[in-house]
Structure 1
Amino acid sequence: MVKAVVAGASGGIGQPLSLLCKTCKNIDDLALYDVVNALGVAADLSHISSPATVTGYLPKDDGMKSAFTGADVVIIPAGIPRKPGMTRDDLFKINAGIVRDLIKGVAEFCPKAYLLIISNPVNSTVPIAAEVLKAAGVFDPKRLFGVTTLDVVRAETFVGALTGTNDPSTTYIPVIGGHSGETIVPLFSQAKPAVDIPEDKLDAITYRVQFGGDEVVKAKDGAGSATLSMAFAGFRFAEKLIRALKGESGIIEPTFVYLPGVEGGAEIAKATGCDFFSVPVELGEGGAKKAINVVADANEYEKKLLKACYEGLGGNISKGVEFVLNPPK
């Protein structure tokens, strides 16, 4: 039996993510939690003829406790999109507070659950989660993941369009670093099978992977950001993790983890100067089994990208840690 929770299930990412989870044959019990509309989303999904039972929960009547208790996997897309007149700092404080409070619930009601953080900014919200779990005495680095799979999915898609492959997902492209702008570093040189990207197109495709979210925001004309593709990416990672937890071997996916707590991670942390970093991670029955050092094999072009990544990422991580240790008033 696998119980999965989507925390933030009524939002733009949460609803399509919950739909995908309902279709997953490896999920038996699906709990949907949100501050509004979770009961309606659950009722709607419950009519789909797939194995998982679906239940919605609101904060009242100990809804968080009921939703989280017994959870094996908790996926957190909760948060608000940036609104007109809102600064990035305003947005950070709101979403950081939402994630902090949800993680407090995890620490209390399902401390052994595997946590998948989608809520942006991932570069800061994952360190926030780690600090909250540390304070509660239940932090296990092998169970905490920042979902950066959308960057991988975009790299696969954009390279596929360039090479003309029928199925872009068959090309493995490690995308490492963080999950925003210049902290995102696609390692096209390590693609399998190898891809030939013309030199005059390399800057453009790299930029598109790093800032692909802007395309969606612009196309939606103020009506939202990347929700459907993010839901797909979040589900892809969750489904792979569940398969690994059930004993399937050889599953590797880039994810943003606390490197010192994962086998092979200390070497990468030393090389990057960052304790949190997205690298390909082998997933196993205990979660993050091994971090794979692809940083060492980056070519000269990629090393320049990584230098900018390290500078930006360090500040993002510190901001998340500081939010928990010295909360804004």
Structure 2
Amino acid sequence: MRRAKISIVGAGNVGATCAHWCAAEQLGDIVLLDIPGDMADMPRGKALDLRQSSPIFGFDSNIIGTNDYADTAGSDVVVITAGIPRKPGMSRDDLLATNAKIMGLVCEQVAKSSPDAVVIVVSNPLDAMVQRALQVTGFPPNRVIGQAGVLDTARYRTFLAMELGVSVEDISALLMGGHGDTMVPLASCTSVGGIPISQLLSQDKLDAIIDRARKGGAEIVGLLKTGSAFYAPAGATAQMVEAVIRDKKRLIPCAAYCDKEYGVGGYYVGVPVILGTGGVEKIVELELTDSETAAFKKSVDAVKELVTAMAGLV
């Protein structure tokens, strides 16, 4: 029985750390790809370094670094982290235009080399980039997914655990909506050991935690000064890869294509899904409170604006 094949396009901090988590969990053979240029050997160096840790941690995955999409052929899962971060002086349109172009070039190659793969998009601005990936690959929407909800939920759960002094394992939570300031943590779906969060935290404290979770990435950028978060984004992505490779049927929030679900017509937005070997196998529709519905609509509107702006730039 062959091992699964996981290709990661973009060998920066997020991509390389995702490879690390996937190897440690023995999810399959891994191809780490980045573009040729001055740093052409970088993915090979990282792959070799990671491979040399295999005797220490006991995994047998074949790990290679490359600049050639031919090495990714026949992948079961393709993770796309490629793109540039927003820099001082850049507008949102600048970031959209550049990363949409990169996403288009990557997805053209992915569609040729791995036509049956499940694609997990990590690049930002996430909700627009996963929409772009769908357009260019031509894959069924269930096989093109955006990673954001798992990360945002992890940040939310982390801050709740820190505030309450409890294990993160006991905190169950769910978020919806776009990735960023308009994401919608669902207090009605948040509990600690089965106890509703409303019985453990005041609304003011919960609101403060929600606000911190929304700005979790920016907080880390401010602390690092020269980079952005990568441990948690990579870990969240690896959890999604595992759900697909091992057909886990995880109920987790992902950026999924909503055709009619939640009244969203033809956009990617963060919603709870069942994630398995077929990608998004089901979108789970919840009954939201009035305030949650209003916040979700606001988040969807922000996603629509982003996608509309991208359409005018590509």
TM-score, reference length from structure 2: 0.89
Paired residue for 1:165? Answer: 166
Once the two structures are TM-superposed, the CA of residue 311 in structure 1 deviates from its matched residue by: 2.0
Report percent identity of matched pairs.
Answer: 32
Report the equivalent of 1:31.
Answer: 31
1:16 equivalent to 2:6? Answer: no
8 Å Cα contact 2:5/2:77 also seen in 1: yes
Following TM superposition, by how much is the alpha carbon of 1:26 offset from its aligned partner in structure 2, in angstroms?
2.4
Q: Indicate whether 1:105 and 2:92 are aligned.
A: no
Is the aligned partner of 1:65 residue 2:70?
yes
Displacement of 1:274 in angstroms is 5.7
Partner of 2:45: 40
SS at match of 1:120: coil
Whether the 8 Å CA contact 2:97–2:310 is kept in 1: the answer is no
Indicate yes or no: 2:79 matched with 1:85. Answer: no
Q: What is the match of residue 125 of structure 1?
A: 129
Counterpart in the other structure of 1:301: 291
Measured in 1, the distance between the counterparts of 2:132 and 2:312 equals 8
Structure 1 position 322, deviation (Å): 4.6
Q: 2:187: which partner in 1?
A: 188
TM-score w.r.t. length of structure 1: 0.85
Moved more, 121-130 or 43-52: 43-52
The one-letter code matched in structure 1 to 2:261 is E
Aligned residue for 2:64, secondary structure, equals strand
**Aligned residue number for residue 267 of structure 1:** 261
Alpha-carbon spacing, 1:31–1:237, altered in 2? closer, same or farther (3 Å) = same
2:240 to 205, 229, 237: 237
Q: Secondary structure at the match of 1:219?
A: helix
Which secondary structure state, in structure 2, belongs to the residue aligned with residue 115 of structure 1?
Answer: strand
CA contact (8 A) 1:31 1:55 kept: yes
What's the CA shift string for 1:21-59, capped at 9, x where partnerless? 2212221x110100231111111111122121111111x
Contact 2:20 2:50 in 1 (8 A): yes
Deviations along 1:203-250, whole A, 9 cap, x unmatched? 212211211111111111x21111222112111222222221xxx4x4
Q: CA deviation at 1:115?
A: 0.4
Query: Aligned pairs, how many?
Result: 297
Task: Provide the residue aligned with 2:144 in structure 1.
Answer: 144
CA distance in 1, matches of 2:186, 2:257: 21
Maintained 8 Å contact 1:274/1:310: no
Q: Name the CA distance, whole Å, in 2 between partners of 1:177 and 1:70.
A: 32
Q: Give the gaps of 5 or more residues in structure 1.
A: 261-265
| Distance (whole Å) between structure 1 residues aligned to residue 120 and residue 169 of structure 2 | 21
Which residue in 2 is equivalent to 1:94?
98
Please provide the CA RMSD for this pair.
1.8
**Is residue 282 of structure 1 aligned with residue 242 of structure 2?**
no
Whole-Å separation in 1 of the counterparts to 2:284 and 2:93: 33
Cα contact 2:118–2:278 (8 A) shared by 1: no
